Amino acid sequence: MTEAIHKPSEAAIWQWLDAVPDPEIPVISVVDLGIVRGVQWQGDTLEIAVTPTYSGCPATSIISMDIETALRDRGIDKITIKQQIAPAWTTDWLTKKGRAEMEKFGIAPPSPAQGPERCPHCGGTDLERLSQFGSTPCKAQWRCKGCLEPFDYFKCI
Amino acid sequence: MTRDEALFEYLLRLGDNTLILGHRVSEWCGHAPVLEEDIALANTALDMIGQTQMWLGLAAEVEGKGRDADKLAFLRDAWDFRNLLLVEMPNGDFGQTLMRQFLFDAFHSVLLGRLMTSSDERVAAIAAKASKEVTYHLERSADTVVGLGDGTEESHARMQAALDYLWPYVGEMFRADDVDTEMVAAGIAPDPSTLRAEFDDIATRVLSQATLEIPTSSFGHKGGKDGSFHTEHLGHLLSTMQWLQRAYPGCEW
């Protein structure tokens, strides 16, 4: 053995991935979004399991690319990214930190009541749905009747 | 027909339904009556194309002849498609598009619910993923059918005409053939005739709320899911959808 392969710990890798922003909602990380499902060394190859939010989400391939780039920057060369569809992604996997950042950014986080709890701008609760879909597959459009501002709501699935 | 040959056929049916309907719905992009509807239709189409990638990807894997989802989507001709006739029907007006969507969503949601317990784990996983999206599609298309059906005189008349036009394409969803029999024997998929009662419950509830009358004729068109008799509309759709790969084979960007 002349050369030891440098293998950062899985905990360190999770931390690095937590700095990779979601391409559509850059204030939250791919870890916050709950789409990184596993980090594991297989020999000298790092295996990352990623699950799509929606099956047709065009951001999926960009996310895989961003993850790979971030890890290469940390000196990891052998990476495989596995697409994993089961169990299916659920908004329950969003982290608490992610939900809070999302709301600060102006997107109402998902709620099991199938509608936003409050307006992310003024906190008002008199709300109406404008459309079941929004700027990305994961969002819907709502409006606050208090401040009259429209906002995105992250759908609960 | 071996079990894998039957499974390949069955997966083509699932993938071709979402591919052809996904393409049809995407034809609205930039043309819908209002911006919100445009975005909603485009997102629905996107979900269906995503589901297609999973179904046709698995079909290609099961076939094992080196094809992939793209090759199956872009390099087969009309007679090799296995989608229901309903999904290749033209968009018509906005009401007809949403009526077609509702009839398909109702069937699709019932089918996916059953496929989630498939003996084939790969099928069950895709069904579980797709089912979440389709539940949402159904909620939306049902709401819109009620809104337009129980709307103005004009919108009501158009929705009734759409229902009269599309209803004869409903029967094909529930007709079982040899492929289905093989899938039932393997525990992979349900007998389509057993989905009818649940579909009828949804259709009757929503359409009566929409003040629309289900046609009484039991006549049904068939020939899509077994590929024996597609309508003339499919060829036109494919000539648009497949044009790039036909003109520039293997082109990527």
Q: Please state the ipTM of this predicted complex.
A: 0.87
More confidently predicted of A114 and B12: B12
What is the mean pLDDT of the segment spanning A140-149? 95
- β-strand A139-144 against A127-131: which pairing, if any? antiparallel
What is the mean pLDDT of the segment spanning A134-153? 92
What are the tens digits of pLDDT across the range B29-78?
999 988 889 999 999 999 999 999 999 999 999 999 999 999 999 999 99
What is the mean pLDDT of the segment spanning B131-154? 96
What is the mean pLDDT of the segment spanning A19-43? 94
Q: Residue B19: its pLDDT value, please?
A: 98
Nearest-neighbour CA in chain A from B35: distance (Å): 10
Q: Is B32 exposed, middle or buried (0-12, 13-18, 19+ CB in 10 A)?
A: middle
Which residue out of B26, B34, B35, B39 would a mutagenesis test of the A interface target, given it has the greatest number of A Cβ atoms within 10 Å?
B39
The partner residue sitting opposite B43, judged by closest CB among A85, A130, A133, is A133
Q: Residue A2: its pLDDT value, please?
A: 46
Domains of chain A: 10-91 (3.30.300.130), 106-154 (no CATH)
The partner residue sitting opposite A55, judged by closest CB among B37, B51, B140, is B51
Is a pLDDT exceeding 90 seen at residue A112? no
Nearest-neighbour CA in chain B from A84: distance (Å): 10
What are the tens digits of pLDDT across the range B67-118?
999 999 999 999 999 999 999 999 999 999 999 999 999 999 999 999 999 9
Does the distance separating the beta carbons of B128 and A87 come in below 8 Å?
A: yes
What are the tens digits of pLDDT across the range A79-107?
999 999 999 999 999 999 999 999 999 99
